[in-house]
Chain A
Amino acid sequence: MAKRIADKELTDRNWDQEEEGEEAGTFSVASEDVLKNRAIKKAKRRNTGTENEGSGAFKGFKGFSLTAAASSSSAPTPTPFSGFGNGGGFKGLGGLTNGNSGTPSFGGFASPAASSSAPGLTFNGPSSAKPATDIATKQTNGSATSASQSSSSSNKEYSRQLTALNCSVRDWITKHVNDNPLCDLNPIFRDYERHLASIERQYGSGSADGGSEEKKKHGGTLPATAAVLPPPSSSSSSSATSTPAALFSFTKNTTDESTREKSSAAAPIPAGVTFNFGKKVDSSVLGSLGNKSNPPSFSFSSSSSSSQTSVFGAPGSAAPLSFSGAKAEDAQPTDENGDEESEDPPKPEVKEVKEDDAFYSKKCKMFYKKESEFKDKGVGTLHLKKTPEGKTQMIIRADTNLGNILLNIIVQPSMPCTRVGKNNVMVVCVPNPPVDDKNPTTPVPLLIRVKTSEDADELHKILEEKKA
């Protein structure tokens, strides 16, 4: 049994004492040593990119204090919070804040069967407006009586959030500039702006305790609760087995929502791919891209690679460090691509912006064989160029701001080139730069993984052609 006795002794002597203030604070991250030894898993994302900001200001913080690229992989997009209210299954929020909107406010959740079987559950129609106003009134009253409390707590909360934001930024900047003085901090400041706006939105600058500010704070979630009366299970103790499923349905009615669900198989994790500064969490992210969960998680968007190509054009200059900030701007197109992919047969991807005189470019991931297993070399873009001597040069450049070279070889006629698996091409050559410093001239099998099998076919074909 989970009963817990009182944590504090209460007596006639101490009951009226001023309470010690206590705050939630934020959690502390484990040390590097500890993190090193931890298997940190990347979660499978089902939602391919319209990540809502959420109401927690810390949603976007993952890029900072947590130094967790794992979490930065799912970027908060600038999708407004109202996306909750007017999309998907959270209709209940938007509906009731509008008051008398005729739309079923809780339709997203309870299936019609459930609401009809419980006449007490008035989710739809004008009657739902009543409890909303009731609760809204109550809430106002409640917070009016504790006005000083809630306004001071939102003041406190605001200060707390802001402090946490600033400390996170400070720590992040310190760490990264220490690691690499050349890094571009622009995206951090963009993120900071966004988070600051989010905090101000939610916690105000302290003064607004009523009116729209409060409504936004409370209205978003209260109405949903206002309309919810005891579920049918109170009246029928032995419900049919179908009831659990009905009540538990989180039906999302919009088509793009269902699309996203389908496309969960193609959830991209671009940030994890691009956010590499040699950090341990990064490695695990990249590593997890290489583990068995790979194929669905590997697809990344063309749009983010377009931002990479701009890097190639001007290495080191205003190239966005691709963590959450930059990615956010790309996320929308990502989503669309993701949707298209899942609905139609995969179309051949539009060719990337050409690098100089490359006649073929394709995003890929490169592995090299070491002992009996393939090791991840990195993600980047593969380019094929014609050399002055008429040979074909294959360059794979990493998706970092400097565009490090993962591979730079001349395609030899004798180079073995095979089509492997669903979307890979394997070649054997002496890698340049070397992958094994002890044996720099030994040929090594390299696996090049591209997005689709058509891409792999194409790459294979071109390589074969150019070998000759």
Chain B
Amino acid sequence: MSAGTDNGARLNQFKNKGKDANELRRRRAEVNVELRRAKKDDHILKRRNVHSLLDEPTSPLQEQDPNVRPPHHWTVEEIVGGVNSENLDHKLQATQAARRLLSREKQPPIDSIIAAGLIPTFVSFLALSECPPIQFEAAWALTNIASGTSDQTSAVIDGGAIPAFISLVTSPHQHISEQAIWALGNIAGDGPSSRDLVISHGGVHSLLALLSAPDLSVFPPAYLRNITWTISNLCRNKNPPPPLEAVLELLPALVRLLHHDDKEVLTDTCWAVSYLTDHTNERIEVVVQAGLVPRLVQLLACGEISIVTPALRSLGNIVTGTDEQTQCVLNAGSLALFPSLLRHPKPNIQKEAAWTVSNITAGKDNQIQEVINAGLIPILVEILQQGDYKTQREAVWAVTNYTSGGTVDQVAYLVHCNVLEPLLNLLITKDSKIVLVILDAIYNILQMAKKTVELQKLCLMIEELGGLDKIEALQSHDNEAVYKSSLNIIDTFFSDENDVEESVIPEAGGDCYAFHIPEDQSTFKF
């Protein structure tokens, strides 16, 4: 159904054209996994930098000691040997060596470590509270293993790491507690089942206990960010969503975090809210009940793209809910921010904003009125004329929903805003779904006009704008539904109802006057 096979070569020049949806999804998934590791690697690299100074053999003492191998040269066998030693110090060194191997940038030998059966060993080290360094090294090593593929994370879970880590959250050593929280974040973020395992082992409670401190600024920023990030992973994933009970427990903490002033904490909290709202109306309801909406709208105006993105997504999710939930978002004054959001330099923000508006215009006419009052309709028209295509798609939906739920006055206003021309111009798009949506809008507008005396003028307008040509042409569209819809419009509004018919009306024959050359040449004489 592409625009033309001749366009194939040209299409391939676009980054992602010429590849089907599956291929693109696979690539996205790949990129996602890579990014995930990269994010953790970023943190790990930072840590490595902190420690590598100590590791480098700059100390003359180390250089002179022949028994101390440079740590970064350990093999997996050596590590196995080391952790099985009776000597706690050797265990520590081996564990640290493992951590270093697992922290290197290029292809850390995660599977080799797993194959060597080291996970249960490291898990057991987590409990050695008499040796905090080994707890730390083991926690770090396991964190990095858990940051890999789902299989690798599963191996960590199977090694009994979850309860061990949860215990470590309450470690008196903050860096160990932090590492445990981080590990739990990796595990929870792997998928719904591992998330729920963390929850069932009491992960939520241990984190909330931390956040019960009256003032969050007692925490070092990195520590609080880690907690927030792990909480966001506990809120993440659908099918199934996190247990409602856990969510209800987490919500007050999220409210607190949402009022904190650290940018990364705000970012991750907004992500958490966006995940929680990406569900049924009941799930949206608990978020709304927790009173998060006004703060989200405030954050929508904060100007930080990393915060605005998830805040907008959250509010966009909420307005997919009931009219009442949508009204909450409107009551918080969100629409005032949309003129700039709809014109945001980042196309994705424009798109999300337009999508949000489209779900508001899908609501009641008083909500449509609020959209009008915020001056958003001319901006939607603007988008239809010249916006980024994905944003245009959302704007089309916004218009059609509007025509479906609006009053006659409101639809008239829409037409007065010159929506028809750009709307009709988009009829040529190859996306048949959108063509159908546009045709629905046109139909709705015409139907509305029928109630007034202005139908003829509206039809004339559509004709003059070239819309009638396009609608007529769409009867030849590949897509059957488009054909039917365009036919319907022509039938209903653009066919002759008042004809003086004659008794002798020639039937519309199937045969046209074909271009028969030979036949006519024979009679071409007088």
Contacts and interface: CB of A to CB of B under 8 A. Distances in A.
Contacts of A433: 519-520, 522-523
Interface stretch (B96-104, B159-167, B197-205, B430-438): B430-438
Given A6-B317, A66-B476, A222-B382, A26 B428 contact: yes
B336 interface: no
Given A70-B475, A167-B6, A221 B421 contact: yes
B26 interface: no
A402 B524 CA distance: 10
B463 A12 contact: no
A2 B375 CA distance: 22
A174 to B, nearest CB: 11
A382 to B, nearest CB: 15
B137 interface: no
B interface SS class: helix
Given A25-B431, A110-B416, A248-B452, A1 B504 contact: no
A149 B388 contact: yes
Interface in B477-526: 477-480, 482-483, 487, 490-491, 494-496, 499-517, 519-520, 522-524, 526
A9 B389 CA distance: 19
Interface in B250-285: 267-268, 271, 274-275, 278
Q: How large is the interface on B (under 10, 10 to 19, 20 to 34, 35 or more residues)?
A: 35 or more
Interface in B27-59: 28, 31-32, 35-36, 39
A149 B321 CA distance: 33
B355 A276 contact: no
A46 B526 contact: no
Contacts of B16: 20-21
A83 to B, nearest CB: 9
A122 B345 CA distance: 30
B478 A374 contact: no
A58 B413 contact: no
Interface stretch (B77-85, B142-150, B207-215, B464-472): B464-472
A286 interface: yes
Interface stretch (B62-70, B109-117, B453-461): B453-461
A29 B478 contact: yes
B495 A41 contact: yes
Contacts of A224: 416-418
Contacts of B519: 404, 433
B412 interface: yes
19 contacts: A4-B359, A5-B278, A6-B355, A14-B32, A18-B15, A24-B430, A39-B487, A56-B424, A167-B7, A217-B386, A225-B377, A230-B373, A231-B409, A233-B409, A276-B515, A290-B509, A374-B507, A404-B519, A422-B502
Interface stretch (B176-184, B240-248, B308-316): B308-316
Contacts of B404: 2
Interface in B347-392: 347-348, 352, 355, 358-359, 362-363, 369, 372-373, 375, 377-378, 381-382, 385-386, 388-390, 392
Contacts of A29: 476-478
Given A59-B470, A276-B515, A378-B513, A13 B476 contact: no
A142 B341 CA distance: 11
B354 to A, nearest CB: 12
Interface string B401-418: 100110111101101111
Contacts of A343: none
A170 B520 CA distance: 30
Interface in A349-378: 367, 373-378
Nearest to A54: B466
B476 A40 contact: yes
B511 A283 contact: yes
Interface stretch (A186-194, A291-299, A457-465): A291-299
B425 interface: yes
A109 B460 CA distance: 14
A44 B496 contact: yes
Closest 8 CB pairs of A and B: A54-B466, A283-B512, A225-B378, A374-B506, A287-B508, A25-B430, A278-B514, A250-B457
Contact of B472 (A25, A43, A106, A252): A43
Interface string A412-439: 0000000011101010000011000000
Contacts of A422: 500, 502
B252 to A, nearest CB: 22
Given A281-B476, A293-B499, A74 B392 contact: no
Contact of A71 (B7, B316, B359, B473): B473
A22 interface: yes
Contacts of A139: 382
B310 A27 contact: no
Given A24-B431, A244-B452, A291 B508 contact: yes
A68 to B, nearest CB: 5
Contacts of A4: 320, 355, 358-359, 362, 397
A244 B348 contact: no
A230 B359 CA distance: 20
B118 interface: no
A42 B372 contact: no
A55 interface: yes
A385 B526 CA distance: 10
A95 interface: no
Given A20-B15, A167-B6, 14 more contacts: A4-B362, A11-B271, A25-B2, A27-B430, A44-B494, A54-B466, A226-B378, A234-B372, A244-B412, A250-B454, A283-B509, A297-B496, A421-B502, A447-B504
Contact of A13 (B39, B381, B468, B487): B39
A320 interface: no
B1 A28 contact: yes
A245 interface: yes
Contacts of A25: 2-3, 429-431
Nearest to B350: A146
Residue among B416, B474, B516 with most chain A CB within 10 A? B416
Contacts of A71: 469-470, 472-473
